[in-house]
Amino acid sequence: MQAVRIHEHGSFDVLHLEDIPIPEPGPGEVRIKVAWTALNHLDTWVRRGVPGHKFPLPMTPGCDFSGVVEKLGEGVTSSSEGQRVAVAPGFNTVPSVEVAEGRHNLARDYGIYGETCNGGNAEFAVVRAENLIPIPDDFPLDQAAAFPLTFLTAWHMLMTRCQLKPWDKVLVHAAGSGVSVAATQIAKLHGASVMVTAGSDEKVQLGLENGADYGVNYRTEDWTKAAKAWTQKAGLDVIVDHVGVDTLPKGIWALAKGGRLVTCGVTSGAEMEINFAPVFFKSLSLLGSTMGSLGELKQLSKLVFEGELSPIIDSRFPLAEVAKAHKRVSERQVFGKVLLHVS
């Protein structure tokens, strides 16, 4: 089969389309004939490398993918050949208290397809049967590949970590990212008011079309002053941040008393100076968040299939143009998800 392989970290030229053996499913696993696979920022980190973290190279990236079950491993009775599925990107292999309590992402053995082991940038992929998300017959396979990782991340940030309330004023940074698209929709679905920031007027407009109540181009306007005016000086209740040093320190000052700032990434930089005075003066919560549980993903999947939540697809590329797709993501002009068509 053909698969994207990374043998060493680097720029776009380290992405190689190669012929490798078709993997065989083991006990409790299934083999999927991949139809679509989506790019996430995690895929770019796997390509570029992360200081201090060792990826199991060579490997096939791809955290999000959809397709058809092609072969069942020994003991699998929960699925059938020919079933249309998406894949939950996070998995566990060892029983633990965390898994038993539905906190899969906090278990020590938690892994992610395309980061911990081979993923979906290939014609075939092997996954655990419990990670399958059955897709309704009338639901498009490309849409099915576009939502699991980002919508799970946003759901866990807002609903689990921040305990979102209908009266909350929520700021979502970087409106066009997959997580931010999802966070905007999830917050609105639960009755909250949403302000978004973006680096262009076009993206601000797209953020408004995605459901936001108010938007600011951070390149031409001070988003902290805009947020103060939008909340009538009351401050923000929740800030969704995956930008890092460029936004997080200022965000602390923009929160209302009892406000929550939740972060799942630091694309602009991780090292920063934070003034902790407002943290205790205003009883703020600074919350970290990574992925979410299998139960959360299955819960929100129903809302996606019912049309209550809807991933946005920015662009599509054939698998052979994976380098162009990565370049598209790096140019920061994306609004929504970039997909690779496999079969």
For position 270, what pLDDT does the model report?
87
> Taking residues 31-45, what's their average pLDDT?
96
* pLDDT (0 to 100) of residue 121: 98
**Structural domain boundaries in the chain:** 2-146+312-341, 151-288
| pLDDT at position 51 over 90 | no
Using DSSP, state whether 183 is helix, strand or coil. Answer: helix
**CATH architecture of residue range(s) 151-288:** 3-Layer(aba) Sandwich (3.40)
Confidence category of residue 187, pLDDT binned at 50, 70, 90:
very high
| Angle between helices 148-155 and 294-305 in degrees, nearest 10 | 110
- On the question of pLDDT at 332 being above 90, the answer is no
What's the pLDDT score for residue 232? 97
Amino acid, res. 48: R
- Say whether pLDDT at 103 is over 90: yes
Q: What are phi and psi of 212, to 5 degrees?
A: -65, 150
Q: Are strands 64-72 and 29-38 parallel, antiparallel or unpaired?
A: antiparallel
* CATH 3.90.180.10 for the 2-146+312-341 domain, yes or no: yes
Per-residue pLDDT tens over the stretch 225-247: 999 999 999 999 999 999 999 99
Q: What pTM does this model have?
A: 0.95
What pLDDT, on a 0 to 100 scale, did the predictor assign at position 36? 98
What is the structure's pLDDT at 146?
Answer: 98
